[in-house]
Amino acid sequence: MTNVGFIGLGIMGSPMAAHLATAGHEVRGYDVNAGAVERLVAAGGHGASGVTDAVAGAEVVITMLPNHPHVEQVVFGSGGVLETAKPGTLLIDMSTIRPETSLEIAQAARDKEIRVLDAPVSGGEAGAKQAALSIMVGGEADDFAAARPFFEVVGKTIVHVGPHGAGQVVKAANQLLVGGIYGLVGEAIVLMEASGVDAGVGLDVLAGGLAANRILDLKRESMVAREFQPGFRIDLHHKDMGIALAAARQAEVALPLTGLVAQLVAAGRAMGYGSLDHSALLKVTEQLSGRA
């Protein structure tokens, strides 16, 4: 059993923290939403009154937060992780943020003798609930080995992808692919329906051929049915596309299709679909085609 401080109990963090508690770890969690803390307590964890309370005495601290300003506040702020955690603590940031922030945290933590990994995840709410996340990890190999038992509680595909910041770069690549595929599946549905073809039947065929992919496996039926209950909101994907474009600029490479996908996601937000699942990119294509 390990004492784990878990900060960020949202759509993803809540089931992840609950899995760790169920696995026998002493999990003390904090979120600005008091209801989320209550759900962790019901799952066998403990509630914390704030970041300082969650971190105090923890051997491992996990953060799962919406964006880099939130992570920076929790890590660098007054009473935050770097100020509160004891030397030797393992800080695992599982948020999806810009690589620069991960590098800044690693540098600052080194001076405090705190070990750091950036470990963003893919799999959405379903993957978090099923403990089937893909986890891409940046940092030192020894720290990855120490963290692996915790990763195995919440994920299935767990890979050390490189040094600090590498996990965030791989996650950016994941998000540009996911956004692009959602956009193209939406276009395929619009094309088939406008041509008088049953899109559900058509996607069944496509899912068995070279066009097969996980999004077709998991989301084709809900997309055809126009069910967009959020597993991962367009608002968050918009943030992630910004990270991907910034990473491309930092690496001095051109990603023209990524730019188009980013504009499609931005259009979804502008059309009022930000709170819907990112599969609602279908609605953007419909509106652009005059079929909304």
Parent domain of 277: 169-288
> In this predicted structure, what is the pLDDT of residue 1?
78
Structure confidence at residue 153 as a pLDDT band (50, 70, 90): very high
DSSP string, 37-61: HHHHHHTT-EE-SSHHHHHTT-SEE
pLDDT for 175 equals 97
- What pLDDT does residue 136 have? 98
The Cα-based distances of 70 to 42, 77, 170 in angstroms read 26, 10, 21
pTM: 0.93
Distance (Å) of CA 146 to CA 72, 81, 92:
24, 19, 11
Single out the residue in 163, 196, 227 at which a domain terminates. 163
- Total number of domains constituting the chain: 2
State yes or no: pLDDT of 35 exceeds 90. yes
> Which of these three, 111, 133, 163, is where a domain ends?
163
pLDDT in tens, 154-204: 999 999 999 999 999 999 999 999 999 999 999 999 999 999 999 999 999
What is the secondary structure of 168-189 as a DSSP string?
Answer: HHHHHHHHHHHHHHHHHHHHHH
Residue 229 Cα distances to 177, 180, 264, 274, angstroms = 21, 20, 19, 12
- Give buried/exposed letters for 122-131 (b at 16+ CB in 10 A, else e): bbbbebbbeb
Q: What percent of the chain has pLDDT over 90?
A: 97
Dihedral angle sign, alpha carbons of residues 274, 155, 173, 117: positive
Residues 257 and 114 reside in one and the same domain? no
Shared-domain flag, residues 45 and 184: no
Q: How far is CA 286 from CA 95, 150, 226, 269, 279, in A?
A: 32, 42, 11, 15, 12
Is 244 in the same domain as 111? no
Q: Of 163, 190, 216, which one is at a domain's C-terminal end?
A: 163
Residues 138 and 215 grouped into a single domain: no
- The mean pLDDT of 97-101, rounded to a whole number, is 96
Given a cut of 90, whether residue 269 has pLDDT beyond it is: yes
User: CB 43: neighbour CB atoms within 10 A?
Assistant: 17
Residue 231 has pLDDT above 90, yes or no: no
Active-site residue set: 171
Helix (H, G, I), strand (E, B) or coil at 157: strand
